[in-house]
Chain A
Amino acid sequence: MDKKVPLHLLPVGQKAKVIVLLNKGLSRRRLLDLGLIKDSLVKTERLSPSGNPIAYNIKGSVIALRKEETKNVLVEIIS
């Protein structure tokens, strides 16, 4: 399987590999700092009741991010 999606569309329970971050400035720094670097693994853990923010498992921690930021992160789904 070779499927690339923006992170906010990664379905719950799915694992993916980070391809590229298109965020700029502070937002980019923050996401990198959290461990969303190229090739690192990320998994959608759960949605909040309203669907935004979404919690992801990044390097062992569960971290909630708003869609506005994750839509600029391109990931590749790992089956």
Chain B
Amino acid sequence: MDDLKNIVPKCIEEDISFGDNIVTSIYKKAEEISNEVVTVNDSNHGRIERKIDNLLTSKIFGYPFMLILLGLVFWITIEGANVPSAMLADLLFGFEAKLTALFTSLNSPAWLHGLLILGIYRTLAWVVSVMLPPMAIFFPLFTLLEDLGYLPRVAFNLDNAFRKSGTHGKQALTMSMGFGCNAAGVIACRIIDSPRERLIAIITNNFVPCNGRFPTLIAISMIFLGLGSASKFSSVFASLSVVAMILIGIVVTLLVSKFLSVTFLKGVPSSFTLELPPYRKPQIGRILIRSLIDRTLFVLGRAVMVAAPAGAVTWLVSNIDIGGISLLAHLSGFLDPVGLLLGLDGIILMAFILGLPANEIVLPILIMAYMSKGAMLELDSLESLRELLIDNGWTFITGLNFMLFSLLHFPCGTTLLTIKKETNSKKWTLFTFVLTTSIAIIATFIINAIATLIGIV
């Protein structure tokens, strides 16, 4: 449409005085109207709010407060989830026993019972009992912080680090969304306008553990840091280790962002504006509904949908024999050399690979796979999970590397699809996959190497 392009003379298009005049006129008019219709009687308002903000963003307390708050959220989550988790597990596994009895009384074939109960039902029971309680506590707490208006303060505090990494301060906000779900975090990257910075935010979003990985991180940290200390401080240690994981995630995000800014995605930071909205009294009812229905049930539903077929596949893999050895043993034997180099094992790697559709099912798959090997029949508490893992050769380093691998490895299938959609590029999707996985492999390899060298393992 050449007509259209020539409609405005070039000299006018380039003359900023027109644009300035337009913006200024609108604002002036807004000011004029506002002055005519608004009367203010009390300008002292907001003093307390200002004081709170000064504290939350102060040089001394700004960062420590963020950490304490994060730790507190996890401590409440872990402490609060313990009892309901155990109750749910009791209930669901008690029901499993009844189902098994029913199958036996009906003389159903062993494979049917295995596939349906030991495969699908058991995985589902684990997903529900491990994931539901922490999510039902974590999400409302997180939504509460969101509603209060604390997240922009976090972005404000952290912006300098992002600026130094050559990226946008709003990346902190997209990371916060990533806590909920990385796919959502990737979509949220739209709030970053500069394509370069947006891409960096998309690629690195996965280094924030999403809720699909939180329960896994929490469970493993409870086992190897919490229960290990066997004191009433166990949940404190566990929350500290989850916070540590998040800090590692943030540091990796910044380092990778910096790396991308000086290599593949060179450039200088673009303009940055961030509103610090006034604190608002949170609406508890809405928070509960929003976080429980929109987030918790949504995520749980997704996990259940994926877990059912994954449970079936895992059961089949561990019960189909080829040459007298189960398919599972073949697979894990194949992956074992690599797994052991990383301080993990073949089954763990297999669980991560099978868990590609959703991170939530990595731990259930792992448990299933281990249980199909051993004699253990009942698994109804974290204590028995701990025994199961230790029986399978887990050490402190395995636990640590498992958590690190979970934190750093490839994004889940949904997130990858979202990245593809948002970047409109297979190349960047693949790049993200390779980059994150390489980092996970390198990190776990180094830790395992060090541990082996100094003789911890």
Residues of A within 8 A of B (CB): 26-35, 37-38, 40, 45-53, 55, 61-66, 68-69
Per-residue CB proximity of B54-74 to A under 8 Å, as 1/0? 100111001100000000000
Known: A46-B57, A49-B59. A62 touches B275 (CB 8 A): yes
Per-residue CB proximity of B260-279 to A under 8 Å, as 1/0? 00000000011111111110
Q: 5 tightest A-B contacts by CB?
A: A49-B62, A50-B160, A62-B276, A64-B274, A27-B271
In the complex, chain A residues whose CB is within 8 Å of the CB of B159: 48, 52-53, 64, 66
Q: Can you sample 18 A-B contacts with CB below 8 Å?
A: A30-B271, A32-B19, A32-B20, A32-B23, A32-B24, A38-B24, A45-B50, A48-B156, A48-B160, A49-B59, A49-B62, A49-B63, A50-B160, A52-B159, A55-B156, A62-B277, A66-B169, A69-B271
Find B269's partner among A30, A63, A68 (CB 8 Å cutoff): A68
- Excluding A30-B271, A40-B27, A53-B159, 10 further A-B contacts by CB distance (< 8 Å) are A29-B19, A32-B23, A34-B273, A37-B24, A37-B27, A46-B53, A47-B59, A48-B159, A49-B63, A61-B277
In the complex, chain A residues whose CB is within 8 Å of the CB of B163: 52-53, 66
Query: Judging by beta carbons under 8 Å apart, are B156 and A63 in contact?
Result: no
Interface of B is mostly: helix
Find A48's partner among B27, B31, B57 (CB 8 Å cutoff): B57
In the complex, chain B residues whose CB is within 8 Å of the CB of A28: 16
Residue of B nearest to A65 (CB): B273
Query: Judging by beta carbons under 8 Å apart, are A26 and B270 in contact?
Result: yes
Query: Judging by beta carbons under 8 Å apart, are B275 and A46 in contact?
Result: no
Query: Judging by beta carbons under 8 Å apart, are A66 and B269 in contact?
Result: yes
Known: A32-B24, A48-B57, A48-B156. A53 touches B276 (CB 8 A): no
Q: Does B82 contact A (CB under 8 A)?
A: no
Find A46's partner among B23, B54, B272 (CB 8 Å cutoff): B54
Known: A28-B16, A53-B169. A69 touches B23 (CB 8 A): no
Known: A28-B16, A38-B24, A55-B156. A49 touches B58 (CB 8 A): yes
Q: Does B423 contact A (CB under 8 A)?
A: no
Per-residue CB proximity of B5-33 to A under 8 Å, as 1/0? 00000000000100110011001100100
In the complex, chain B residues whose CB is within 8 Å of the CB of A64: 156, 159, 169, 272-276
In the complex, chain B residues whose CB is within 8 Å of the CB of A61: 275, 277
Interface size class of B (residues with CB under 8 A): 20 to 34
In the complex, chain A residues whose CB is within 8 Å of the CB of B273: 30-31, 34, 63-65
Question: Could you say which of B16, B63, B269 has the most chain A C-beta atoms within 10 Å of its C-beta?
Answer: B16
Known: A64-B273, A69-B271. A48 touches B53 (CB 8 A): no
Q: Does B100 contact A (CB under 8 A)?
A: no
Residue of B nearest to A54 (CB): B156
Known: A28-B16, A46-B53, A48-B160. A53 touches B23 (CB 8 A): no
Residues of B within 8 A of A (CB): 16, 19-20, 23-24, 27-28, 31, 50, 53-54, 57-59, 62-63, 156-157, 159-161, 163, 169, 269-278
Interchain CA distance A43-B58 in the complex, whole Å: 18
Q: How far is the CB of A20 from chain B (nearest CB, A)?
A: 11
Interchain CA distance A68-B166 in the complex, whole Å: 13
In the complex, chain B residues whose CB is within 8 Å of the CB of A37: 23-24, 27-28
In the complex, chain A residues whose CB is within 8 Å of the CB of B50: 45
In the complex, chain A residues whose CB is within 8 Å of the CB of B20: 32
Interchain CA distance A46-B276 in the complex, whole Å: 11
Interchain CA distance A66-B270 in the complex, whole Å: 10
In the complex, chain B residues whose CB is within 8 Å of the CB of A53: 156, 159-160, 163, 169, 272, 274
Residue of A nearest to B193 (CB): A26
Query: Judging by beta carbons under 8 Å apart, are A48 and B157 in contact?
Result: yes
Q: How far is the CB of B15 from chain A (nearest CB, A)?
A: 13
Residue of A nearest to B54 (CB): A46
Query: Judging by beta carbons under 8 Å apart, are B275 and A66 in contact?
Result: no
In the complex, chain B residues whose CB is within 8 Å of the CB of A45: 50, 276
In the complex, chain B residues whose CB is within 8 Å of the CB of A33: 23
Query: Judging by beta carbons under 8 Å apart, are A35 and B271 in contact?
Result: no
In the complex, chain B residues whose CB is within 8 Å of the CB of A46: 53-54, 57
Find A66's partner among B24, B31, B272, B278 (CB 8 Å cutoff): B272
Q: How far is the CB of A57 from chain B (nearest CB, A)?
A: 10
Q: How far is the CB of A61 from chain B (nearest CB, A)?
A: 6
Interchain CA distance A69-B273 in the complex, whole Å: 10
Interchain CA distance A16-B403 in the complex, whole Å: 51
Interchain CA distance A11-B351 in the complex, whole Å: 56
Interchain CA distance A28-B276 in the complex, whole Å: 21
Interchain CA distance A52-B96 in the complex, whole Å: 58
Q: How far is the CB of B8 from chain A (nearest CB, A)?
A: 17
Interchain CA distance A34-B112 in the complex, whole Å: 65
Question: Could you say which of B23, B28, B62 has the most chain A C-beta atoms within 10 Å of its C-beta?
Answer: B23
